[in-house]
Amino acid sequence: MIASAVGLCSGSAHGQIIVNEFLASPDGLQEEFIELLNTSSSFVPLRDIAFRDSRSDWIAVGGDADARLAPGELLVLSMEAQPVWPDVSFIRPESWASLNNSGDSIAVAVGASVTDRVGYGSNARGISLERIDPAVPGHLGLNWGVSSASLGATPGRVNARFRPDIRPPLLRGAEFDPPSSLILWLSEPVNPSSLAGARFTADDSLVDAAGSRIDGARIGLDLPGGRAPDVISVGGLADFAGLRMRDTTLAVAIPS
C-alpha cells in the first residue's frame, strides 16, 4: 500500500515527514492526492501520522496497524483510486478535507509535533505542485513548482521538478551604495538565521551584521564611517538547505 523508497532521503532537519507533492485541482480521471515523504533515518509508524488543511481538524493517515513508513519512502494519500496512475498504491485516510482550488494550506504532524506546513494559491487544473528539494522548508514558495510530467503529476515516484540543492551560496557581486551602505548579491537566497554565524570584513575592518537587510539573494550592510571599501570578504552564510558558503573576497564596485 506504500510506494517503494525512491532515494529521496535527505536527513532534513525541517521535519521527518514532509509534504512532497499534492494535487488540489484534479481534472478528468484524476483525484485529489497528497504525497508524503519520510526524510528521516527512522521508520515512522503510520498510526502516528496525521494531516489537515486550513479548515479541517487533524485527520489520521490510517492504514494497517503495524505499517511503518521507511526512510526515503513515499506515501500517497487519496480517498479514491487514481485511474490515471493505476499502478500507484495509496492509503485511504479515515476522512478527507477537499483541498481548496483557489488556495489552501496543508500541515503534517507526527504525534504532537507539526513536521511540515505548506501554503499555496490557485493553480492550473490537472497539474500537481511538486517540492523541488526535500531539504528546504516547505513554507518557501521558491521550493515548489508545477509538475512538468506528461500526465500532470508523479504520485509515488520521484518528482519531475526534483532538484536537490548541492551547492552553497556564492558571492556574485558587491557595490557601494552611498552614503554608507554596501549591497551584496549572492547566487541564491540565504537563510536569515545564518547571519549569526556569518562574517563580513570590509578591507580590514569587521562589519556588524546586526543591522543588515536581507531580500532573498540580496543583502544590504551598513558601513561604519561611510567610506567605500576596496574589497569585501564574506563567509559563513547558509542557504535554506543548510549549505554554508566559503570565505570569499571580491572587489567593491563604486557607482560613477
Q: Is residue 18 over pLDDT 60?
A: yes
Please give the sequence-ordered ranges of beta strands (E in DSSP) within the chain, or none if there are none.
17-23, 33-38, 44-45, 49-53, 59-60, 68-69, 74-77, 103-110, 113-121, 129-131, 144-146, 171-177, 181-186, 199-202, 205-206, 213-215, 218-222, 231-235, 248-251
Is residue 40 domain-shared with residue 130, that is, in the same domain? yes
Averaged pLDDT, 107-117: 94
Looking at the structure, tell me whether residues 43 and 128 fall in a common domain.
Answer: yes
- Domain of 116, CATH number, reads 2.60.40.1260
Domain assignment present for residue 158? The answer is no
pLDDT tens, residue by residue, 153-201: 999 999 999 999 899 999 999 999 998 899 999 999 999 999 888 999 9
Residue 13 has pLDDT above 50, yes or no: no
**One domain, residues 58 and 136:** yes
pLDDT above 80 for 69 = yes
pLDDT number for residue 62: 85
User: Is 244 a member of any domain?
Assistant: yes
Claim to verify: residue 27 and residue 120 sit in the same structural domain: yes
- Please give the pLDDT value at position 212: 86
Domain shared by 40 and 138, yes or no: yes
Write down the pTM of the prediction: 0.78
Based on the domain organization, do 29 and 135 belong to the same domain? yes
Q: Is the pLDDT of residue 6 over 60?
A: no
User: Are 142 and 227 in a shared domain?
Assistant: no
pLDDT at 43 over 50: yes
The number of beta carbons lying within 10 Å of the beta carbon of residue 178 is: 9
Asked if pLDDT for residue 11 goes beyond 80, the answer is: no
Asked whether residue 204 is domain-assigned, the answer is yes
Longest dimension (CA), the chain: 70
Average pLDDT over every residue of 3-19: 56
Q: Are residues 141 and 178 in the same domain?
A: no
How many Cβ atoms sit within 10 Å of the Cβ of residue 174? 23
- Is residue 154 a part of any domain in this protein? no
Mean pLDDT of the region 212-238: 90
Residue 57 above 90 pLDDT? yes
130, 146, 162 — which closes off a domain?
A: 146
How high is the pLDDT of residue 4? 45
User: Domain check: are 229 and 124 in the same one?
Assistant: no
Domain extent at residue 244 = 171-251
**Residue 161 carries which side chain, given as an amino acid letter?**
R
Which pLDDT score is estimated for 5?
43
Q: Is residue 47 part of a domain?
A: yes
Cell 558601513, residue located: 223
- Do 50 and 128 reside in the same domain of the chain? yes
Number of domains in the chain: 2
Note the pLDDT of residue 125.
92
Residue 26 lies in a domain: yes
Mean pLDDT taken over the chain:
89
CATH number at 183 reads: 2.60.40.1220
Q: Are residues 132 and 228 in the same domain?
A: no
Answer yes or no: do 177 and 92 share one domain: no
